[in-house]
Chains A and B, each alone.
Chain A
Amino acid sequence: MCEYTIALVGNPNVGKSTVFNALTGADQHVGNWPGKTVERRTGLLRLSAAASGPHVAALLPAVTLVDLPGAYSLSAYSLEEEIARSFIVEEHPHLVIDVIDASNLERNLYLTAQLLETGAPLIIVLNMQDQAEGRGVLVDAARLSQRLGGTPVVSLVARRGEGIETLRKLIAVTVTQHAGGDSGMRVTTLAPRPQQIIIPYPAEIEGALAQVEAAILQSPTLAAVFNPRWLAIQLLEGDETLRCKVAGAPGGASILAALAASRTQLTAAYGEEIDVALVNCRYEYVHQLVLDVVEQTHRRRISKSDRLDRVVTHPVLGIPIFLALMWVVFKVTIDVSAPLLDWISLVVTGPIANWTVAVLSLLGLGETWFASLAVEGVIAGVGSVLAFVPVMLALYLVLAMLEDCGYMARAAMVMDRLMRKVGLQGKSFLPMVVGFGCSVPAIYATRTLDNQRDRILTGLLAPFMSCSARLPVYVLFAAIFFPQHASLAIFAMYLLGIVVAVAVGLALSHTLFKQQDESCFIMELPPYRLPVARNVWRQMWGRTSAFIRNAWTIILTVSVVLWFLLATPARGGEGAFADVPVEESLFGVASAMIAPIFTPAGFGSWQATGALLSGFVAKEVVIATLTQVYHVAEPTEVAAPPPTFIEDVQLIVTSFVQAISDTLKSIPLVIGVNLFDAGAEPAPTPLMNAIRNDFAVTSGGHGALAGLAFMIFVLLYTPCMTAVAAERHELGTKWMWVSVIGQFAVAWLIASLVFQVGRLLM
């Protein structure tokens, strides 16, 4: 009675380990493959009398089952595949059990085809039949066995233990055949011996294989170890490991000479791609096999996800759907966040300012320049930006939901078509989509592109995508000048950013950046799914907290610097420090010198110019600057005593409850249902009134048009200093200046054009 070895082989995740456990039970040993860090599992297979029949039980040898690492092929591309191949073709197990996932038959049968080529005795285990049937795929096991020349095929559902006993019996029969025969028989004749399966290759390849095979047969050492045809195929495929083994074996030189001659003959027909031809034949063989043995009980189902994709990524409908969704995003963002935005403004300008003044008074600092810095600089500046936290939260919430459900990947696909029209390679959509969040990572993301031309062109266009830091400016100006259509006005800004990027891209790709490379690529779209609350929260809070951090760092610093510039008289004798009219301050005078540049755009006041100047640092600073330069205070009752601490707390609580109630009432606004009382529009703040009046003056009565031009300018000029630094880092100093000056020119041109044309039409 001899030792009997069976190898269990299969693709990863086909239930191989479940089959192994079911066959061996607790008789397992776990170690490593010699010299490798890959786990080696072996087990003792008990072929009971029940399985094999009492009359043969006594003849059964001890059977060791070896669980080989998961492998997709025997081409030894990975360590796992190398181990599996070496064991099968060099260790010669008495039997190989190939576990196949019936629900992924075509991929699994590729390995089977290679196993057949090795000539190893084989049993095929068709696992996961239940899953395959669930997909309407019926695999005809008998037909498969017949097509594979009588190779036994066992159907089972390993996780439920169904079919395991049948497999055990089949193994017992196979082993019994061996045990009952001559113990000196060669192992390859022991197992169920199917008729030889030859995967057909084209005639010229068959000719070459025959030459190499003949040479291998001349080497007894190699012919004893390897199946000559299999070895010939592998050598023609260009397997370097086997080539080295052959080179070191007796008679190896003549085999390699035959191989070289064969390859030379084939080069005329296949060039350097003989391996592609061989692999292709194998795939063709497997494909035909699948067509022959699989019955589709119902037409191959197209998943809901795929059906939805046909609409969402449609060449014509894709972009309108993307725009419609973006419009909903801004509608939700603006309508739902407005009550909480007003609440934070009220708290910052009311109770927090009051408490700061009270504390400073207690410290003896009331009525000093320091109190002015704290209230008019820090609290007004930072507070005016922090008021937009609910807006950012709402925006990031909706975007995170779209991202997590899988839509943003589709949006990227839709954007790709637009990118091609602009003359960019398809992958440029990545930085552009990221640019909707922040221009800085968008510019850094250009390094993922393949060539310098596309990197620079994309880096120049990405800042035109409206980053989220610009949103507070749009929200404020839309509320001032387009209160009835605020969402539409903001949506129009995002749309305009895309249109300008496309137009500039077209212009550049036909002038400075010609010679576009065609790029074709495959995308793996994730299936749609319901957004996961944890992911949505992480995205939303991560981005909002970045906005808040900016408020406490960049905006705080700029607000303090700005206050000093506003507090310092430009000329001697025109007021003292912290007691100078703002228009006479250093900042006021410097801004006034530049302001005429913006007169053609309708907002040539020093205040608007100053806000744009500081906006170079970061777009959030525009609001902080406007708050300081207009230097407005909430109207207070004459002679009214300052509110007490308790009254302030009451105000915070009651206004918060009201804000939450209004937020809930705002949700139906998204679908056009207004639950608010007619005429219950919130009164404009003093800052809004000041901006409206100022823009009306500078534009000659076309305030709304000037407001629109201002929004456009904010959209199109340099996003922030950090983005400029990113451009210098990624594109170089020259292109950084091209970007800064170019964006300023484009912004000024379009803003002026909109204002001037609009004025003519109105």
Chain B
Amino acid sequence: MLWRVLREVEAAQGPLDLNELSRRLGVERSALDGMILFWVRKGRLVDDSGAGRATVACANHGCGGCASGQGCPFTMTMPRTLSLIQLDLDERTSSQARAS
């Protein structure tokens, strides 16, 4: 079950929506959240929530658009992303063997 989460993400070869992943695995969305949290703790998935909003360090170097004090007005609220950390080849082979 847990391994299938990573396998599906890897097989998608692109961004995979959490709801879609939940359907593919046939598990409840909330249960999938738990599995993802586990992989985040294990370091196999990296939660990029903070990076989604591209506010970054414009404040002192930028165009002045952020002078309103509410941050850069051109940033967009982007979805939360969780990146899969790739293993090296040996580790991947043994992991896949165990998963199967």
Residues on A close to B: CB < 8 A?
A: 72-73, 77, 104-107, 110, 269-271, 273, 275-277, 279-280, 283-284, 286-287, 290, 302-303, 306, 309, 313, 403, 408-409, 412-413, 416-417, 420, 426-427, 430-431, 433-434, 437-438, 440-442, 444-445, 447-448, 450, 517-526, 538-539, 542-543, 545-546, 549-550, 553, 720, 722, 725-726, 729
Q: Contact between A270 and B98 (Cβ–Cβ < 8 Å)?
A: yes
Chain B residue nearest to A419 in the complex (CB) = B14
Q: Which residues of B contact A522 (CB under 8 A)?
A: 9, 15-18, 21, 36, 45, 81-82, 84
Provide the residues of chain A in CB contact with B68, threshold 8 Å. 542, 545-546
Instruction: Indicate the member of A105, A269, A542, A543 with the most B CB atoms within 10 Å.
Output: A542
Query: What number of B residues sit within 8 Å (CB to CB) of A?
Result: 64
Instruction: Beyond A283-B1, A409-B78, list 8 extra A-B contacts (CB 8 Å).
Output: A107-B28, A290-B28, A309-B17, A416-B14, A522-B16, A523-B15, A546-B65, A726-B61
Let me know if A523 and B16 touch, CB within 8 A: yes
B98 cross-chain contacts in A, Cβ below 8 A:
269-271, 273, 277
Minimal Cβ-Cβ distance residue in B for A11: B30
B76–A276 touching, CB < 8 Å: no
Which of B41, B81, B94 is the one whose CB lies under 8 Å from A521? B81
B100 contacts the other chain (CB 8 A):
no
Q: What 0/1 pattern do residues 75 to 94 of B give for CB contact below 8 A with A? A: 11111111110100001001
Given A107-B28, A276-B42, A521-B83: A445 in contact with B54 (beta carbons within 8 A): yes
Bound-state Cα–Cα, A427 to B17, Å: 14
Interface hub of A448, A518, A729 (most chain B Cβ within 10 A): A448
A729 to chain B, nearest CB (A): 6
Q: Are B56 and A448 in contact (CB under 8 A)?
A: yes
CB neighbours (8 Å) of A538 from chain B are 70
Identify the 6 closest CB pairs spanning chains A and B, nearest first: A445-B54, A542-B73, A546-B65, A106-B31, A437-B74, A448-B51
Nearest Cβ on chain A to B77's Cβ, whole angstroms? 7
Instruction: Give every chain A residue within 8 A of B38 (Cβ-Cβ).
Output: 279
B3→A280 contact, CB < 8 A: yes
Q: Which residues of A contact B45 (CB under 8 A)?
A: 522
CB-CB nearest in chain A for B6: A520
Given contacts A273-B95, A276-B42, A440-B63, contact A525 B79 (CB under 8 A): yes
Tell me the complex Cα distance, A441–B64, Å.
Answer: 11
Q: Which of B9, B62, B76, B79 contacts A440 (CB 8 A)?
A: B62
Q: How far is the CB of A200 from chain B (nearest CB, A)?
A: 14
What residue in chain B is nearest A412 (Cβ atoms)?
Answer: B78
19 A–B contact pairs at CB < 8 A? A73-B34, A104-B28, A107-B28, A107-B34, A287-B31, A412-B78, A413-B79, A437-B73, A438-B74, A450-B83, A517-B86, A520-B13, A520-B84, A520-B86, A522-B36, A546-B74, A550-B63, A722-B62, A722-B63
Given known A-B contacts A520-B84, A526-B79, A546-B65, A313 and B34 have beta carbons under 8 A apart = no
Cβ A444 vs Cβ B2 within 8 A = no
With A434-B76, A523-B81 as known contacts, state yes or no: A106 contacts B28, CB within 8 Å. yes
Shortest B5–chain A CB gap in Å is: 9
Among B14, B20, B61, B86, the residue within 8 A (CB) of A417 is B14
Residues of B within 8 A of A284 (CB): 1
Residue of B nearest to A291 (CB): B26
CB neighbours (8 Å) of B9 from chain A are 520-522
Contact A520 B17 (CB under 8 A): no
Chain B positions within 8 Å of A433 at CB level: 76, 78
A431–B37 Cα distance when bound, in Å, is: 27
Q: How far is the CB of A727 from chain B (nearest CB, A)?
A: 11
Residues of chain A contacted by B74 (CB below 8 angstroms):
434, 437-438, 440-441, 543, 546
* Residue in contact with B48 in the complex, picked from A287, A313, A427, CB distance below 8 Å: A427
- B54 contact set on A, CB distance < 8 A: 430-431, 434, 441-442, 444-445, 448
Given A106-B28, A110-B31, decide whether A519 and B67 contact each other with a Cβ distance below 8 A: no
CA distance A438 to B84 in the complex (A): 29
Please determine whether A271 and B80 come into contact, CB atoms closer than 8 angstroms.
no
A726 pairs with B1, CB closer than 8 A: no
Q: Are B56 and A523 in contact (CB under 8 A)?
A: no
In the complex, which residue of chain A has the Cβ closest to the Cβ of B66?
A546
Write the chain A residue with the least CB distance to B54: A445
A520–B73 CB distance below 8 A: no
The residues of B that contact A550 with a CB separation of less than 8 Å are 63-65
**What mask results when residues 25 to 59 of chain B are scored 1 for a CB within 8 Å of chain A, else 0?**
00110110111111001100100100110111110
Across the interface, which residues of A come within 8 angstroms of B62, CB to CB? 440-441, 444, 722, 726
Give the residues in chain A near B1, CB-CB below 8 Å: 280, 283-284, 287
Indicate if the CB atoms of B16 and A403 lie closer than 8 Å: no
Report how far A303 CA is from B76 CA in the complex, Å.
25
Q: Is the CB of B56 within 8 A of A447?
A: yes
- Give the distance to chain A from B49, nearest Cβ to Cβ, in Å: 9
| Chain B nearest CB, measured from A289 CB (Å) | 11
**Which of B2, B33, B86, B94 touches A283 (beta carbons < 8 Å)?**
B2
Query: Would you call A104 and B70 a contact (CB within 8 A)?
Result: no
A682 to B36, CA, bound (A): 59
Contact B64 A525 (CB under 8 A): no
Complex CA gap A677/B37 in Å reads 62
User: In the bound complex, do residue B84 and residue A725 qualify as a contact, i.e. CB atoms below 8 Å apart?
Assistant: no
Look across to chain A and name the residue whose beta carbon is closest to the beta carbon of B82. A522
Asked whether, in the complex, the Cβ of B86 is within 8 Å of the Cβ of A427, the reply is no
Report how far A445 CA is from B52 CA in the complex, Å: 9
B74–chain A nearest beta-carbon distance, Å: 4
Q: Report yes or no: B48 in contact with A448, Cβ–Cβ below 8 A.
A: yes
8 Å CB contact of B76 from A105, A437, A720: A437
Given A283-B31, A524-B80, residue A438 in contact with residue B65 (CB < 8 A) = yes
Picked from B58, B75, B79, the residue with its CB within 8 Å of the CB of A524 is: B79
Cβ-closest chain B residue relative to A433: B76
Residue of chain B at shortest CB distance from A447: B56
A580 to B44, CA, bound (A): 70
Task: Check if B58 sits within 8 Å of A542, measured CB to CB.
Answer: no
Alpha-carbon distance A520/B15, docked complex (angstroms): 6
CB–CB A286/B15 < 8 A: no
Report yes or no: A720 in contact with B81, Cβ–Cβ below 8 A. Answer: no
